[in-house]
Amino acid sequence: MFVVGLTGDVGAGKTTVASMLSQLGAQYISADRIVSELWQDEDILKAAKDRWGTRVFSDGGTPLPERISEIIFEDEGEYKWLCNLLHPRVREQMEAKVLFGSGLIVAEIPLLFENGVPWWVDFTVYVTSPMEERIKRNSERGWDELELTRREKWLMPQEIKLKASDWVIANDRRLDELRVEVKKLMVFLKKISCCIEGFFTCGSFEEAERIAKKLLEKNLVACTNIVDVESRYLWLGNLESETEYLVVFKSIESLFPEIERVVRDEHSYDLPVVTAQRMKKASIDVRKWIMEECGS
């Protein structure tokens, strides 16, 4: 599992980018969609009614987003109150969806940096766009420059978020050009999300060192560690016990078949066991290092 936190300027095209990534195979989770569902929760409705009265509801009791917006984007206190009401629940639900997910996950989170990047986000993407382009794209909503500025005035400054992001998409181009940029991002994400950590054991330190060196020389792994272990295992129905040497390596998933082949060819065991799994948590710098050293 590898989670991308996607955010950006108001009206810059975050959802468009998320949709493109979804079409390319990523699982998509939307914070805005969760917020819409929360507005059907009785506790949320009661809190809003107690705070603002019936003026933010239709005659049928349905929340009116435009009236709520008029309140929260004019008063920072009201804005923070609503954020404190909704966002802990949003993060809780997003975390649950992420932990039950698999593969590459894109979580679109408008307030990704303002509320703190969650521990489960591995990589951040920021979508930016010039004001004039955002006005054009949001004309159907009736959002002009004044409205966009109003919706952003309580947010963290753009320049801070740009510096904090791992990848920036400048959405100042045609849709087909944006799609090309998103495909480049997807190629990178697939590579960086496929870093693995694996291991195998050898009967002697010399054998472990020799095989580890060969894997490094072939640029199949970025690093190896060799440690002695006391092994207990079944072989032909008998319980065996011996000192072995565990070789731990870091690499990328696409190289695993070749790693396994080299180990089998060089190993003294009839059945050397080579296993690996995707790294669950590692910094982007570490992942980039593994990719570069493995020649990807």
Q: 243-284: per-residue pLDDT in tens?
A: 999 999 999 999 999 999 999 999 999 999 999 999 988 999
Residue 291 has pLDDT above 70, yes or no: yes
Pairing between β-strand 275-278 and β-strand 238-252 as defined by DSSP bridges = unpaired
The domain limits of the chain are 2-192, 195-293
Q: How confident is the model at residue 138 (pLDDT cuts 50, 70, 90)?
A: confident
Is 276:195 a contact under the CB 8 Å cutoff?
no
The architecture (CATH level 2) of 195-293 comes to 2-Layer Sandwich (3.30)
Average pLDDT for 95-107: 92
Identify the pLDDT of residue 214: 98
Its pTM stands at 0.85
Is 173:127 a contact under the CB 8 Å cutoff?
no
Burial of 169 from C-beta contacts in 10 A (0-12 / 13-18 / 19+): buried
Superfamily (CATH) of domain 2-192: P-loop containing nucleotide triphosphate hydrolases (3.40.50.300)
Return the structure tokens found at 248: 């731990």
Binding residues for ATP: 11-16
Binding residues: 11-16
Domains 2-192 and 195-293 share a fold: no
Report DSSP state, residue 116. -
pLDDT in tens, 231-241: 998 988 999 89
DSSP sequence for 13-70: SHHHHHHHHHHTT-EEEEHHHHHHHHTT-HHHHHHHHHHHGGGGB-TTS-B-HHHHHH
Tokens 């698999």 sit on residue: 102
Identify the pLDDT of residue 225: 98
Is 8:151 a contact under the CB 8 Å cutoff?
no
Residue 296 has pLDDT above 90, yes or no: no
